[in-house]
Amino acid sequence: MTSRVLTLLGATGTIGVNTLDVVARHPGRFEVFALTGATQVERMVEQCRVHRPRYAVMTEPGAAAAVRAQVAAERLGVEVLEGAAALADVASASEVDTVMAAIVGAAGLPATLAAAQVGKRILLANKETLVVSGQLFMDAVAASGAELLPIDSEHNAIFQALPRDCCGDLAGAGVNALWLTASGGPFRTLSAEAIAAATPDQAVAHPNWVMGKKISVDSASLMNKGLEVIEARWLFNARPEQIRVLVHPQSIVHSMVEYIDGSVIAQMGTPDMRTPIAYALGFPERIDAGVPMLELMGRQLTFEAPDTRRFPCLQLAFDALAAGGNAAAVLNAANEVAVARFLDGAAPFGAIAASIAHALDTLAGGPAATLDDLLESDRAARRIADAFLGAVHA
């Protein structure tokens, strides 16, 4: 058994912590080359104590200085780097063969793209990479021969339910549709008025999954599902009309593939992110994830259509996908600004969709041929959304 050498982008977040939990269950199978984070000093130091990476990268200089002082005092033998350029360096290092891309938001794009450009196996948990730069990123994967394995539970489920040799040819594989399941989040049964007035504490209280605050808010608005629709388009070379969403409150069926002969193949399991993480880490083998086995006795599984009137963010994502060009980058950036404002108490939940729609109306249709084009659309959308939300909250 050959050991895989791993860089973990976003080690201190939920996906990063779960990844290291799986890694620790398989001594000798994985070597941790680099861990990266932003501001969580104590968690990074503890991860360095346990996993002894060659490098730790903190994007915030003050956090980097604190981690550097602590690992030096404990003589852990870890070199501490800082800044966005260091993220790309540890993601593309020649010693590394596997990169877990788990940085939240568009901030994870440059380092993940750097890994793709040099042909790494990329375990993609950062959905914004494909939302913002879908064609550009997939072209880089194809040019370098990189291997792309999805970590989102929905896309990982579809990957498992597709033929191993599908390679983006859905028609050749007899696929009719890809069904992404959504839990419906904490607001599934609330009225539009109650949703608009929801608090941050209510929005992050996901009924089934343990996730970070940003993705929890996205789940509450169904924007997370919208981003996953765009991601699925690129991951599986699917036409937009082939991607469908179904609300499944129990989060047992993680997604499904519908075939032209009438068969529907679903991947099921206990809602725990360690399952898709372990599947990708061990691929093509299956390895222990430390997850309880699924108990179906006495369980009832239900399904319902999403309500885009109460959850307009989902429709906005479909609209951005249809518009093409820079629209998805604009959608993502405006959403990141709105969610951050909401979590800070500086904007109401109901303003999230409104600010995204305003940014799309203002900026969609711009160029998207290069990374610079996309990053400029990202910056412009953040300015537009920030100004809009400032006026709303004034």
Instruction: Tell me the DSSP string of 223-278.
Output: HHHHHHHHHHHHHTT--GGGEEEEE-TT--EEEEEEETTS-EEEEE--S-THHHHH
pLDDT tens across 68-110, in order?
999 999 999 999 999 999 999 999 999 999 999 999 877 888 9
Give just the sign of the alpha carbon dihedral 202, 21, 57, 330.
negative
Distance from chain centroid for Cα 282: 19
pLDDT, position 85: 94
Evaluate whether residue 261 is within a structural domain.
Answer: no
Evaluate whether residue 231 is within a structural domain.
Answer: no
pLDDT, position 127: 84
pLDDT, position 209: 64
Query: What is the pTM (predicted TM-score) of this model?
Result: 0.92
CA distances (Å), origin 372, targets 87, 136, 143: 18, 11, 19
350's CB contacts (< 8 A; 6+ apart) are 195, 196, 197
Evaluate whether residue 141 is within a structural domain.
Answer: yes
Evaluate whether residue 146 is within a structural domain.
Answer: yes
pLDDT, position 393: 64
Evaluate whether residue 38 is within a structural domain.
Answer: yes
Q: Which residues of the chain have pLDDT under 70?
A: 1, 208-210, 393-394
pLDDT, position 125: 94
- Give 344's DSSP letter: T
Query: Are 335 and 356 spatial neighbours (Cβ–Cβ below 8 Å)?
Result: yes
Query: Are 19 and 103 spatial neighbours (Cβ–Cβ below 8 Å)?
Result: no
Query: Are 258 and 175 spatial neighbours (Cβ–Cβ below 8 Å)?
Result: yes
C-alpha–C-alpha distance, residues 334 and 386, integer Å? 8
Evaluate whether residue 43 is within a structural domain.
Answer: yes
Q: Which of 349, 355, 15, 316 is nearest to 203 (CA)?
A: 349
Give the total number of structural domains in the chain: 2
Q: Which of 34, 31, 27, 42 is nearest to 5 (CA)?
A: 31
Look up the CATH number of the domain holding residue 381: 1.10.1740.10
Residue that finishes a domain, picked among 104, 129, 150: 150
Evaluate whether residue 114 is within a structural domain.
Answer: yes
C-alpha–C-alpha distance, residues 250 and 133, integer Å? 32
Amino acid sitting at position 139: D
- Find the domain containing 137 and state its range: 4-150
Which is it for strands 121-124 and 147-150: parallel, antiparallel or unpaired?
A: parallel
Residue that finishes a domain, picked among 100, 125, 150: 150
pLDDT tens across 211-252, in order?
778 888 999 999 999 999 999 999 999 999 999 999 999 999
CA atoms within 13 A of residue 364's CA, in its CB half-sphere: 19
pLDDT, position 105: 78
208's CB contacts (< 8 A; 6+ apart) are 183, 249, 250, 251, 271
What are the phi and psi torsion angles at 121 (to 5°)?
Answer: -80, 120
C-alpha–C-alpha distance, residues 24 and 338, integer Å? 37
Evaluate whether residue 349 is within a structural domain.
Answer: yes
Enclosing H/E stretch for 319: helix 312-323
Residue that finishes a domain, picked among 150, 176, 200: 150
